């Protein structure tokens, strides 16, 4: 893994992720699963996806959360335990698992700290009824995604894949320059080959459809209003840094764009949409 994600960033984005995620696809996945489903979450980070999806599935369930970053997995347990208690659920910690005792049954979480490496097929998919991930597939290469698709015989739901429909409002003449640099930077190798970036939704659709899966997608955009200053600031600074990294000759223009955007943000005059798509792939027999 060459790219690190801070627990602070994952916490900042979690409320935007929760609102953006497609509940229609979540319900379709939940309906396709057995009575006590076992799910594997790839690149789970702090388990934000568990906190969204487990209540929608509702019944007894067991999750394996997988990530190369053991520290993030530690945050995943701590945050999820706090979240469960805030919802009035009793928790226990048998062995290395976290068990959340809900009226619909127990929700079990175990962690697997491992780097995916080049070959996702070595992961224990066979012990699971579904594989899910969030904000991961735009970081991986088409070849990695192809090996993943070739390894799965169960439902797959990839949430929050960037699709490039980002829009800062009001418009600025250098938005396209920054967008071009940002998109180019997204394709950098993040440790799993040259990343798919904004091609992820279309490439995943093609890969899974070619293997007989029924594929459905839904928009899951972040809608970031002027009042969400910390998130807007993170996005402005992140876009500018990524664009300058990809387009070093345009550093001065990008820095001017960043200052203009931060000024608008300070005056409460900036809003942003970040385009994402969620994708559900169901195998033929589901």
Catalog residues that contact ligand SAM under the rule CB under 6 A. Answer: 1, 5, 10, 17, 43-45, 48-49, 67-69, 72, 115-116, 134-136, 139, 191-192
Instruction: State the chain's maximal CA–CA distance in angstroms.
Output: 59
Q: How far is the CB of 138 from ligand SAM (least distance, A)?
A: 9
By beta-carbon proximity to ligand SAM, the closer residue of 33 and 49 is: 49
Residue pair 65/132 in contact by the 8 Å Cβ criterion: no
Query: Which residue in the block uniquely carries the two structure tokens 């792939």?
Result: 281
By beta-carbon proximity to ligand SAM, the closer residue of 139 and 246 is: 139
By beta-carbon proximity to ligand SAM, the closer residue of 102 and 134 is: 134
Region of 135 (left: φ > 0; alpha: ψ -120 to 50; beta: rest) is: left
By beta-carbon proximity to ligand SAM, the closer residue of 129 and 138 is: 138
Residue 99 token pair: 């068990």
By beta-carbon proximity to ligand SAM, the closer residue of 105 and 193 is: 193
Q: How far is the CB of 183 from ligand SAM (least distance, A)?
A: 17
Q: How far is the CB of 136 from ligand SAM (least distance, A)?
A: 5
Neighbours of 226 (CB within 10 A): 15
CA–CA distances in Å: residue 33 to residues 87, 113, 133: 24, 25, 16
Q: How far is the CB of 80 from ligand SAM (least distance, A)?
A: 12
Angstrom distance (rounded) from CA 279 to CA 138:
12
Q: How far is the CB of 257 from ligand SAM (least distance, A)?
A: 24
**What is the separation of C-alpha 242 from the centre of its chain, rounded to a whole number of angstroms?**
19
By beta-carbon proximity to ligand SAM, the closer residue of 61 and 220 is: 220
Residue pair 115/142 in contact by the 8 Å Cβ criterion: no
Angstrom distance (rounded) from CA 186 to CA 202:
16
Q: How far is the CB of 190 from ligand SAM (least distance, A)?
A: 6
């Amino acid at each position: 893994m060459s790219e690190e994600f801070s627990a602070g960033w994952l916490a900042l984005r979690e409320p935007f992720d929760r609102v953006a995620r497609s509940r229609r696809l979540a319900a379709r996945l939940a309906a396709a699963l057995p009575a006590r489903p076992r799910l594997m979450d790839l690149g789970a980070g702090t388990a934000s996806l568990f906190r969204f999806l487990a209540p929608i599935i509702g019944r007894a369930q067991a999750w394996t959360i997988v990530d190369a970053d053991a520290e993030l997995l530690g945050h995943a347990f701590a945050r999820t335990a706090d979240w469960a208690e805030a919802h009035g659920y009793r928790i226990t910690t048998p062995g290395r698992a976290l068990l959340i005792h809900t009226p619909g049954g127990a929700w079990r979480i175990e962690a697997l700290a491992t780097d995916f490496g080049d070959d996702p097929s070595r992961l224990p998919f066979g012990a699971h009824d579904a594989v899910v991930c969030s904000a991961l597939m735009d970081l991986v290469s088409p070849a990695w995604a192809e090996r993943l698709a070739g390894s799965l015989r169960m439902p797959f739901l990839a949430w929050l894949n960037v699709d490039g429909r980002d829009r800062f409002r009001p418009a600025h003449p250098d938005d396209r320059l920054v967008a071009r640099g940002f998109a180019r930077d997204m394709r950098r190798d993040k440790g799993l080959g040259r990343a798919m970036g904004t091609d992820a939704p279309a490439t995943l659709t093609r890969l899974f459809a070619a293997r007989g899966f029924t594929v459905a997608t839904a928009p899951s955009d972040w809608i970031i209003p002027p009042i969400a200053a910390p998130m807007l600031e993170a996005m402005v600074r992140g876009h500018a840094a990524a664009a300058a990294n990809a387009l070093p000759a345009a550093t001065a223009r990008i820095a001017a764009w960043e200052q203009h955007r931060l000024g608008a943000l300070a005056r409460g005059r900036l809003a942003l949409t970040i385009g994402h798509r969620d994708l559900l792939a169901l195998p033929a027999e589901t």
